[in-house]
Amino acid sequence: MADPIDFYFDFASPYGYFASRRIEDLAAAHGRTVTWRPILLGAIFKVTGMKPNLQQPLRGEYLVHDVGRIARLTNAPFTYPDSAPANSVAASRAFYWLTDEHPEQAKLLARTLYHAHWGEGRDIGPAETVVEIAGTLGHDRAAVAAALQDQTVKDRLRAENDAAVDRGVFGSPFVIVDDEPFWGWDRLDMVERWLSTGGW
C-alpha cells in the first residue's frame, strides 16, 4: 500500500481552499489516501521572514484578482470574505481534536469550514463560529468548545506546525508525495503527473 499524500493547508489560504476541493479525487485516482494537516502560516512566517500576501504591496492586489479568476475557472463557490486573512487557530484546533478518532469527519469539518469562509464569505476566526459550524455536522457544541481550550489540543497544533517546518513546509497548499514537496494550487497538475509516472 502506497503511503498517504500529506496535504498541508491554512484555512486562511484561498489557494488551500481550491486545493482542498481537488486533492481527494486526485489521490484516489492513483490509489492513494490523503492525510490532511492544517497549519498556521503566521507561525511559519516567523521562520521564513515573510508576511501574509494581503499585507504585501502589489502581491495582495494580485491575489484578490487571481483567486476570483481561479474560482471562475474551477466553478468553485466563492465569496471573498471581509475578514481575510482569517485567524485559523480555532478551525485548526477543532480539526486536530477530531482527526485521530474520526479522520473522515475531520476532513468533512475542514471542507465545511473552508466552504463557509471562502465559499460563503463567513469569518471562521471566532471560536463560536467554529463551534456553530461543527454543530451543524452533528458534533456536540459543548465538547467542541471545550476542545478549543484544551491544552492537549493546543499542544497538538503547535507540534504539527513545528513538524511541518521540519519537513520544509512554508506555504499553503503544500503537498508532499513520498518526500517530494510541491507548493501551490498550481502544482496539482504536477502532483498528478508525478503520481502517474512515478516521478522524474
Which residues are the active-site residues?
A: 13
β-strand pairing of 34-38 with 180-183: unpaired
Helix, coil or strand: residue 5: strand
DSSP string, 14-66: HHHHHHHTTHHHHHHTTT--EEEEE--HHHHHHHH----GGGSTTHHHHHHHH
Location of C-alpha cell 481537488: 22
Question: What is the spatial distance between Cα 117 and Cα 128, in angstroms, rounded to a whole number?
Answer: 14
Kindly tell me the number of DSSP H helices and DSSP E strands found in the chain. 10, 4
* 107 Cβ contact list (under 8 Å, min separation 6): 24, 34, 36
